[in-house]
Amino acid sequence: APAVLNNKLENVATDDFTYTAISHTGTITHTPTSTDSAYNGATPSWSPSTVVGGSYVFTIVDNVIPQIVLSGDPALVEGGTTSYSIVLSTPPTSNVVVTLTPPSGLTLNTTTLTFTSGSYNTAQGVRVTSVADAVYSGVTFTRSVTHSAASTDPNYDGLTASYNPSNTFVFSIADSASPKIFIVGSPMLQENEEIGRAS
């Protein structure tokens, strides 16, 4: 019996960096060339379900999804400032406006950011300031900034949580106030002089 050689090919799907909600197919055709007339121009006879007329059909699933990607330092002290950055995970087909909504107790240097197909992965920074309330609580608390996208690109317009797990940036805020007794007065005294005598 003739020897059977199994030649394996490694196939790599090219990343197009564009999100499509459905899978698509890619086809590789096979045309043998040989001086053996039995093989020259023959159509492969093996026929798993993915082989049609000598062509191997691949089902390709997208490896990226549209997201608002947030990164930065979530630690804050009351009255202090920190920052974080925002990018999009895929190039949009039209401009995407991301609206930031801070809670009470936090202020932002901007509440809207615009991303284009050319700048979608260029980080845009947001500066966050925590408002000091001068009231001592002794505990660390959290505040969240939410993000929503608007665009004529349907992949980004009104993202839902399933496509945007990083929608909310949660800050951990430490209390800057602490109980203290303040002594106010002049430290200067002359001999035989008294000040601030309590009655």
Please write down the long-range contacts of 155-164, taking CB distance under 8 Å and 24 or more positions apart: 155/19, 155/21, 155/66, 155/90, 155/92, 155/93, 156/66, 156/88, 156/92, 156/96, 159/66, 159/67, 159/68, 163/65, 163/66, 163/67, 164/66, 164/67, 164/68
Residue 69 has pLDDT above 90, yes or no: no
Q: Give the pLDDT confidence score for residue 55 in this predicted structure.
A: 67
Beta strands at 51-52 and 55-60: parallel, antiparallel or unpaired: antiparallel
Q: Give the pLDDT confidence score for residue 132 in this predicted structure.
A: 78
DSSP state of 104: T
Alpha-carbon dihedral sign for residues 68, 73, 77, 81: negative
> In sequence order, what are the residues at sequence separation of 6 or more whose Cβ sits closer than 8 angstroms to the Cβ of residue 145?
100, 101, 102, 103, 106, 108, 126, 128, 168, 169, 171
Q: What is the pLDDT of residues 161-185, one digit of tens each?
A: 455 556 778 878 777 655 566 566 6
Q: Which residue, among 99, 98, 90, 97, has the nearest Cα to 118 in the 3D structure?
A: 90
Q: Could you give the CA distance from residue 129 to residue 92 in angstroms, rounded to a whole number?
A: 30
Q: What is the pLDDT of residues 97-154, one digit of tens each?
A: 999 999 888 999 999 999 999 999 999 999 999 887 766 666 787 888 989 999 999 9
Q: Could you give the CA distance from residue 124 to residue 118 in angstroms, rounded to a whole number?
A: 13
Classify residue 185 by burial, with Cβ atoms within 10 Å: 0-12, 13-18, 19+.
exposed
Q: Give the pLDDT confidence score for residue 37 in this predicted structure.
A: 82
Q: Could you give the CA distance from residue 141 to residue 99 in angstroms, rounded to a whole number?
A: 24
Q: Which residue, among 76, 89, 70, 73, has the nearest Cα to 146 in the 3D structure?
A: 70
H or E segment to which residue 145 belongs:
strand 141-150
Neighbours of 21 (CB within 10 A): 10
Higher per-residue pLDDT: 82 or 23: 82
Q: Could you give the CA distance from residue 149 to residue 96 in angstroms, rounded to a whole number?
A: 6
Q: Give the pLDDT confidence score for residue 71 in this predicted structure.
A: 87
